[in-house]
Structure 1
Amino acid sequence: MLSSCQKDSDVKDNSALKASIAADSIATSSPGNFLAAAGTLTLKIQDSTYVFDASKDSIAFINVRDEIDDSKRYFGITAINKDHNMSFGISSSGLVHDNKNGDIAGSQFLLSPGYKEPGFQYSLSKYAGQKDFGNIHVDKYNQDSVLAKGTFHAFLAAGDKASAPVYKVEGSFDLKLK
């Protein structure tokens, strides 16, 4: 399941506005999917730090279950900045709850040309021989005004070949419902 979120308040094209509303409703209408109202998602890769701010960017906490096999469940965070030139997503298998540790099942970080020249992408490295793809720890989940709070690390490759360099990405999230 893919979802996209947008919080632009000055969208001029009505069709873009309708698409945005539909995309946001995917993230918020499914049970267990929430669009953060406040808070941050921060990630560090190589010598750079990137921050998504829920007051202006779209950050969603999602829960997904397989329609055919209900035992296959995933949770994660997806974010896109207001300018739509930076996005990040990370997921883990299982059900989310307080004090949850989970192995990383998927992750991707994209920067479009114009944000940093040239644009680039990092994707979860899953090459033979690699045993640790990363971990996500959720300290708190869906309590009072806290949507989700925790930390993560993942190993992302800068290309799609087995020889592509792999970088450790570390981050944190502190997302609020109100």
Structure 2
Amino acid sequence: MNVFKAVLIVLFFSAVIISCQKDEQSVDGSLTRSIVKADTSDNSGNFFAVKGTLSITVDDSTYTFDAAKDSIAFINVNIDSNKYFGLTAINKAHTISFGISSPGFAGPELDNTIAGGQLLFNVDGKHIKQFAVSTSVGDNLSNAIHLERYMQDSVLTKGTFTTLMSKKGDDATQVVSGSFNLRRK
């Protein structure tokens, strides 16, 4: 898959998350944030987690998204007749966002390669630190997602991933790993 499609997939995931949050004006005129939760009974295959966490480790630091306060979604998408699934998240403060995608269909006990991914940090309101899946990772053990569980009882998905990412403007790659245990009910 070319880099353009991988970036397009990650951007699609991020746009879905951002579009599912909106500002509303309250009675006193101030803005409040409300989150639109996806209907877990729909047939789109796109679900917001209502409980659970997604943790990402990069640069010897671990960042955790909590579905109780942050937006985390499992998304299935079809681009140019190619199917992809993935995770996307954005924290409540909108300072960290993450997306990762894999080709094919999601299912329990699935090991698959990672097609694209991006991790963004809004460091100080003006500067963004960006990591993207390295174009040289290919199909190797350092570029994999494992779904231990998927759509079983109240579990949305549970698993781990490992990939190589490069910081924007830097050719060096580093291992980015994570785990997720997300509930839909």
Pairwise TM-score range, normalised by the shorter structure? 0.7 to 0.9
Task: State how far apart, in whole Å, the 2-side matches of 1:103 and 1:136 are.
Answer: 6
The residue matched to 1:171 in structure 2 has which SS? strand
Structure 1: state its 5+ residue gaps.
Answer: none
The residue matched to 2:75 in structure 1 has which SS? strand
Match of 1:125 in 2: 134
1:169 is aligned to 2:176 = yes
Higher strand share: 2
Task: State how far apart, in whole Å, the 1-side matches of 2:110 and 2:121 are.
Answer: 29
The residue matched to 2:17 in structure 1 has which SS? coil
Match of 1:97 in 2: 107
Corresponding residue to 1:113 among 114, 119, 123: 123
Contact 1:5-1:27 within 8 A present in 2 as well:
no
The structural deviation recorded for 1:29 is: 5.8
Report the AA paired with residue 60 of structure 1: A
Identity, % of aligned positions: 38
Match of 1:36 in 2: 49
Structure 2: state its 5+ residue gaps.
Answer: 1-8
Counterparts in 2 of 1:18 and 1:45: CA distance versus 1, 3 Å? closer
Contact 2:96-2:120 within 8 A present in 1 as well:
yes
Output the aligned Cα RMSD: 3.2
* TM-score (structure 1 length as normaliser): 0.80
The residue matched to 2:44 in structure 1 has which SS? coil
Match of 2:6 in 1: none
The structural deviation recorded for 1:27 is: 9.9
1:77 is aligned to 2:87 = yes
1:46 is aligned to 2:33 = no
* TM-score (structure 2 length as normaliser): 0.77
**1:115-143 deviation line (CA, Å, top 9, x unaligned):** 8x95311001104x865361000000001
Counterparts in 2 of 1:143 and 1:27: CA distance versus 1, 3 Å? closer
Counterparts in 2 of 1:118 and 1:86: CA distance versus 1, 3 Å? same
